[in-house]
Structure 1
């Protein structure tokens, strides 16, 4: 889908605050409310805007540990990817799953209340995942930049 300067302006304002009213959004984007609404609908229908989500700070809910697990799978097993991803999706503390090409096949982002809780998750849920050839855990110390916003 081609987007023009008005779409970019609209998207900048929308991603800055998706909760604002259509009137506020139109005003900030410098266009008529009806035009703004039509463009917003077109961007949603075309899949440029996928939806709105609530961003919940899991640290505020008592989760103080985040670990990134790099996993290499046994590639001799047919459907290893699908099997491991399906099982990893069932672990509530796995908040992100990414796949890669190369030595590392998957990255799981795991949150836990504390190190004891992480150790329990690791032993009972992660180490029981099938077809793991290699696993490396990276403890997150700080998040320097985390943004879903695009440079429009």
Structure 2
């Protein structure tokens, strides 16, 4: 399904103010509430809208440390990727997993309450992951831009 200009206008307003009541969203997008509902349903069915979710500020829950870990895996084992990813998914503090082509194979985004908690996670859960050839850790200092908005 290919969204049209009206769909993009709806999505643009929705991304700008996700908590906006549907009637207000319809008004801002220049459509009726019934049209809005039909179009949102069509966008869901077409896979454009994959989910509606809560965005949680981890820092407000006491997680002050965020680290991006870049892994190069020992690829002499044909199951290295699968075994690494299966075990990485089981680490509760891992909030993001991405795979790459290139020098870096996998990136994990990990959160911790403080540096002591980070050390505990790193030693007990990260270093025990299988097939690690090399690790690079990048500690987040500040987030300059963070958005889920698209150039619609």
Normalising by structure 1, report the TM-score.
0.96
**Aligned residue pairs, count:** 152
Match of 1:133 in 2: 133
Aligned-pair distance for 1:26?
Answer: 0.9
Q: Does 1:143 align with 2:143?
A: yes
CA distance in 2, matches of 1:15, 1:145: 15
Which deviations, in whole Å up to 9, do the C-alpha atoms of 1:49-88 show, x marking residues without a partner? 1111111111011111111100000111112111111111
Instruction: Report what 1:101 is aligned to.
Output: 101
**Structure 2 CA distance for aligned equivalents of residues 33 and 138 of structure 1:** 46
- Residues 1-152 of structure 1 mapped to structure 2, 5 A cutoff: 1-152=1-152
For residues 106 and 137 of structure 2, what CA distance do their matches in structure 1 show? 12
Structure 1 segments unaligned to the other structure (5+ residues): none
TM-fit CA distance, 1:18: 2.9
Structure 2 gap ranges (5+): none
1:17 and 1:42 map into 2 onto residues whose CA distance is: 20
**How well do the aligned residues superpose, as a CA RMSD in angstroms?**
1.0
Partners of 1:23 and 1:59 lie apart in 2 by 33
Moved segments of 4+, more than 4 Å: none
CA contact (8 A) 1:67 1:137 kept: yes
Tell me how far apart the structure 2 counterparts of residues 34 and 121 of structure 1 sit (CA, whole Å): 49
**Cα separation, 2, equivalents of 1:67 and 1:37:** 40
Retained in 2: the 8 A contact 1:98–1:106?
yes
